[in-house]
Amino acid sequence: MNDCRSVFITRHGGPDVLELRTTSISDPIEEEVLVEIKYSGINFADIMSRMGLYTTRLKPPYRLGMEIAGVVSKSGSEKNRSLVGRAVVGFCRSGGYSSHVNVPAEQLFVIDDKWLNVAAAIPVNYLTAYFMMIHQGSLRKDETILIHGIGGGVGIAALQIANKIGAKIIGTASAGKHSKIRELGVEHLIDYQSEDFSERAMEMTHGKGVDLVMDSLGGKELAKSYACLSEFGRVGAYGFSTAVTGPKRSYLKILPKFLKMPSFSPRDMMMKNKGAFGFHLGMIRERKDLVAEYGKVLFDWLEDGTIDPVIDSVFKLEQASDAHQYIGDRKNFGKVLLTSE
């Protein structure tokens, strides 16, 4: 057994339900390695999980977190013994907000030690953007992409990948983030708090519409994303952030938003030459080979400077509640990390 500090969800609710506990963790089994975690990525899915809005088989109390960067300290088999002492980044089902976690070795990428302080910003955000933009969305040079929440972790990842492709970018964000986003080279920005993004996107494209939308909003906003597509345009849905109306779950507020979620008609899409698709990184079951392939591409891009994760802030494990409140208040620009050090 190994000593371990972990942040637990004690019950569903606001940030105050998170609790740091000292427990123990078993040695890794045959296909696993034990990772001494240096940094953990915080994702919006963690916020929704804490609130009880995210599909999971786990029931409180349970360890939170799915994205880690650290150093392998033990191996459960001779096959993976070469990983001991190596810096790695990857996924875990839960327990990412911890000092240590056992992870299947196949879910990790070996990296250079110098990237440990930013690597935890890559797996969820950049793989989500890569799958949606390149694998499913087939975004091409000179096409136009509308990125919702362009100042967040996935949004900045999508921005950088769009620049790599040579696509034109329109982004939505609160007005307070516009100056920082412009520093990243994006000029066409929409203040979602005071402007109708669908109307503004049509204006910015001179009535043509956009070729791809990355929609994290859900609800009726997803229908508006579909409405501003060009001919052969496609919208990708990967979240339901509009369901988060406060720190705690409220079915009275969520249900109307859920009921307004559009159902796309195959006939309508056929007659308009438009498309819609969904993406959930955690639900990939059969094509984990693609995760490995695209992950390698992304870490090669990290090495050559194509992508450059923006880290907003780093909180200590015992500050996990503060970190969740910070993200819930939409204050972050880029990725928020936890550190066990």
Q: What is the CATH number of the domain that holds 212?
A: 3.40.50.720
Same domain, 317 and 227: no
**Residue indicated by tokens 């769009």:** 162
User: Is the same domain home to 147 and 185?
Assistant: yes
**Token pair recorded at residue 225:** 């994303």
Domain that holds residue 313: 2-121+309-339
- 238-265 burial, b for 16+ CB within 10 Å, e for fewer? bbbbbbbeebebeeeebeebeeebbebe
Task: Say if strands 144-147 and 229-237 run parallel, antiparallel, or are unpaired.
Answer: unpaired
Q: Do 195 and 61 have their domain in common?
A: no
Q: Distance between CA 180 and CA 249 in Å, rounded?
A: 31
Residue 301 lies in a domain: no
265 and 156 within one domain: yes
Closest by CA position to 187, among listed 212, 169, 163 = 169
Question: Which string of DSSP letters, residue by residue, matches 65-78?
Answer: --EEEEEEEEESSG
Q: Which two tokens stand for residue 259?
A: 């009921």
Instruction: Let me know if residue 328 belongs to a domain.
Output: yes
Is residue 113 located within the same domain as residue 140? no
Same domain, 111 and 143: no
Are the C-beta atoms of residues 42 and 340 closer than 8 Å to each other? no
**Preceding peptide of 61 cis, ω within 30°:** yes
Q: Say if residues 225 and 203 touch (Cβ distance below 8 Å).
A: no
Round to whole Å and give the CA distance between 244 and 325: 12
Residue 295 domain flag: no
Helices (H), the chain: 44-51, 116-119, 123-130, 153-165, 178-183, 197-204, 219-227, 251-259, 266-272, 288-304, 320-328
In angstroms, the CA 196 to CA 253 distance is: 21
Beta bridge partners of 130: none
For residues 200 and 246, state if they share a domain.
Answer: yes
Instruction: Report pTM.
Output: 0.92
* 3-class secondary-structure state, position 245: coil
Structure confidence at residue 93 (pLDDT): 87
Give mean pLDDT in consecutive 10-residue pieces for the chain, a chain of 341 residues. Answer: 92 96 94 98 92 80 96 96 97 95 96 96 97 98 97 96 98 96 96 96 98 93 96 92 61 63 88 95 90 96 96 98 93 95 80
User: What is the number of domains present in the chain?
Assistant: 2
